[in-house]
Amino acid sequence: MKASTPAAMLALVLLGTTAPSYAADAPAPYPSRPIRYVVPFAPGGPTDILSRAIAERLSLSLGTPVVVDNRAGAGGGVGAEIVARSAPDGYTLMIGHVGTHAINISLYAKVNYDPIKDFQPISMIATLPFVLVVHPGVPAKNVKELIALARAKPGVLNFASAGSGGPTHLAGELFKSTAAIDIVHIPYKGNAAALGDLVGGQVQMMFSNMLTAMPFVRTGKLRAIAVSTLKRSPQAPELPTVSEGGATGYDVTPWYGVLAPAGLPKPLLARLHGEVSKIVDSPEMRERFVTQGVDVASSTPEAFAALIRAEIPRWRDLVKRSGAKAD
């Protein structure tokens, strides 16, 4: 065997010293650190409950913590703006819904994000009808009787919402205009606080999601009289629609989905969409939420983006017709 030449030995030395630098420059596999999952509403509401169910399973499937970060304010606008300004690296996600990505842009004088340009939709996760619930002390067993009561006492009855400008507020305003009644809006900081005062009798009625309202209905603490969608809910077929009860044409169908900042690389989009859709479409998730009125279902990123584009002008018209304004 020939002895190594000085040049060959130098090449080996250089190769040995430079090889590690290539490894050091290689990007870390995704995910390599915790993921921030922004919930733009207070804890305890439907958005928070859905988010935590998704985050728990996403953490298991990705093998990294998925940390729920509640950032309430401005009808979800505070949290949405945080996500819109974050890096599109897959480490910041959010749950968005009809309020943050379809209503706010028409309801608020200034919105510091573009619901289309600033986000990358990943997947729809659910639709969740509102249920019109009243305190048991309200002498109305159906929508027709409630409308008659409100007309007999204009400005006396009130309705709670999870916050000024949010879907529960707008649902009530739309009911006012569609039924031609005068009821007073009482805003709260979150769905849980509003439901608490409704159960306590401080307010008379509310459009609340089935997820958090139906447990109170089942125990007799609240009375459900109608659902907000144009068709009856398969989860509560005994409940008529608001439209059936006399507010003809009334239709409010809240939806929820997972989004990332715009510019998310396609490989990360594909990975996250696959993980989220697998979780949402699992029998475990369906079984967990179906009895609570939640219709869980995934979608393609393209279908979710198309829904957002279609919903913005629809809600703009509803905001204008109802006269709703954010405080």
Is residue 319 pLDDT above 90, yes or no? no
Please give the pLDDT value at position 42.
84
Please give the pLDDT value at position 165.
74
What is the Cα–Cα distance from 207 to 212, expressed in whole angstroms?
A: 11
In the DSSP assignment, the letter for residue 303 is H
Q: Which two tokens stand for residue 50?
A: 């859905």
Topology given in CATH for the domain delimited by 130-227:
D-Maltodextrin-Binding Protein; domain 2 (3.40.190)
For residues 200, 203, 205, 208, the Cα torsion angle rounded to the nearest 10 degrees is -70
Domain with CATH 3.40.190.10 in the chain: 130-227
pLDDT tens for each residue of 112-131:
999 999 999 999 999 888 99
Number of CB atoms found within 10 A of residue 256's CB? 22
Number of CB atoms found within 10 A of residue 302's CB? 9
pLDDT tens for each residue of 143-192:
999 999 999 999 999 999 988 777 888 899 999 999 999 999 999 988 88
Please give the pLDDT value at position 17.
47
- In CATH, the number for domain 35-127+254-322 is 3.40.190.150
Domain with CATH 3.40.190.150 in the chain: 35-127+254-322
Number of CB atoms found within 10 A of residue 269's CB? 17
Residues sharing a CB contact under 8 Å with residue 218, sequence separation 6 or more, in sequence order: none
Do residues 167 and 97 lie in contact, with contact meaning Cβ atoms separated by under 8 Å? Answer: yes
What's the average model confidence in pLDDT over 214-229? 95
The answer to pTM > 0.85 is: no
